[in-house]
Amino acid sequence: MNLNQLSSGSLIADRRAEYAHMLADGGDHAGAADLMAQALELAPDWAAGWFRLSDYEEKSGRKEAAVEALRKVLALNPGDMFGAGLKLAVLGAMETPAGPSSLYVAQLFDDYADRFDRALVEKLDYTVPEKLSELVVAHRGEKRFSCAVDLGCGTGLFGERIRARTDRLEGFDLSANMLSKARDKGIYDRLAEADLSLPPESCGLFDGNDSKSHRADLVSSADVLMYLGSLDAVFAIAEHLLSGGGLFAFSVEDAGEAGEFILRPSLRYAHSKAYVESLCNRFGLTVLEARATIIRNDGGKPVQGILFLAMKPV
């Protein structure tokens, strides 16, 4: 989310915020924080401005000031489009939430859509779509899927790799801009908005028609679950979608032995293998394979993940 594009509504405040941004780019985060505070004296209800101030304060080493600014963001923007609650949890100022706000995730990927494919593949060495599709094909062989549902389809990177093996391909995402990019590729038979943090009856994948349930023999979720903490809702959705013998293919960032899930400074969640296996067991899915792998680079360092392939019994 490019906070520098969000105006305060005050020309003078915006100008001071621009100067603050220049100072921060030059490494003077304390100076940037001081100038940003002056801007906020002129525009005290500017939530994006308070979020920028929190970033400058944190990078200046003034953690308590950063926390105070983040609390102001939440007060001004209860829907939390900025992810202030996640930042507060990372800073130890509140309990880790079960997941981010849907508004934050939608805004994050709406802003990211235009550069998503190039940034992930060229800059972050992102390999989940290829590795996950290879895992599916290794177990499925030459047999085609009648219906594949791509949860959190994004721009269609996984869809591109499974299209030739399925008669019908559906894609769902929370971001309208991501769906637009996927639509441009012309590979999906259906694309629609859906919220994977909600239960099946309200997530957007079902409309009360029983024929919409148990329609898929493949459900995928490639590099999506790290934007959810608790995975109960998405597993309920997958179980509701899958027909007997259907496959659920997905990836997580690996939390190691750290409980069920953790929130990382990247504001993404990591999940433990034991937690995912317990969910599979609870929702009646059999784990066929859990493969540890590097899923991308972040800050020049490899991110460890796990690829899962589970099956709903016939």
Task: Please indicate, yes or no, whether residues 85 and 125 belong to a single structural domain of this protein.
Answer: no
Q: Are residues 289 and 201 in the same domain?
A: yes
- For the residues of 229-273, what is the DSSP string, one character each? S--HHHHHHHHHHEEEEEEEEEEEEB-TTSSSEEE-TTS-EEE-H
- C-beta of residue 247 within 8 angstroms of C-beta of residue 219: yes
Final residue of a domain: which of 32, 67, 95?
95
- 77: domain CATH number? 1.25.40.10
Domain match, 63 and 122 both:
no
| Residue 102 belongs to a domain | no
Q: What is the pTM of this model?
A: 0.91
Whether 152 and 282 share a structural domain: yes
In this structure, are 236 and 271 located in the same domain?
A: yes
User: Does 149 share its domain with 293?
Assistant: yes
CA 160/CA 217 separation, integer angstroms: 17
The amino acid present at 111, given as its one-letter code, is D
**Residues 260, 236 within the same domain:** yes
State whether 137 and 260 are in the same domain.
yes
Residue 204 lies in a domain: yes
CA-CA distance, 32 to 18, in Å (whole number)? 9
Q: What is the CATH classification number for the domain harbouring 122?
A: 3.40.50.150
Q: What amino acid occupies position 235? A: F
Summary count for the chain: helices (H), strands (E): 12, 9
Range(s) of the domain holding residue 203: 108-311
Return contacts of 59-67, CB within 8 angstroms, 24+ apart. Answer: 59/24, 59/29, 60/29, 60/30, 60/33, 62/30, 62/33, 63/91, 65/33, 66/91, 67/91, 67/93
pLDDT at 4: 46
72 and 113 inside one domain: no
Q: Is residue 103 part of a domain?
A: no
- Do 118 and 89 lie in one domain? The reply is no
Does residue 138 share a domain with residue 284?
Answer: yes
Beta bridge partners of 298: 301
In a domain, 101, yes or no: no
pLDDT per residue, tens digit, the chain (314 aa), is 445 457 888 999 999 999 999 999 999 999 999 999 999 999 999 999 999 999 999 999 999 999 999 999 999 999 999 999 999 999 999 999 999 999 999 999 988 777 776 666 666 678 899 999 999 999 998 899 999 999 999 999 999 999 999 999 999 999 999 999 999 999 999 999 999 999 999 999 986 654 578 899 999 999 999 999 999 999 999 999 999 999 999 999 999 987 899 999 999 999 999 999 999 999 999 999 999 999 988 877 899 999 999 999 99
pLDDT recorded at residue 258: 79
Identity at 152, one-letter amino acid code: G
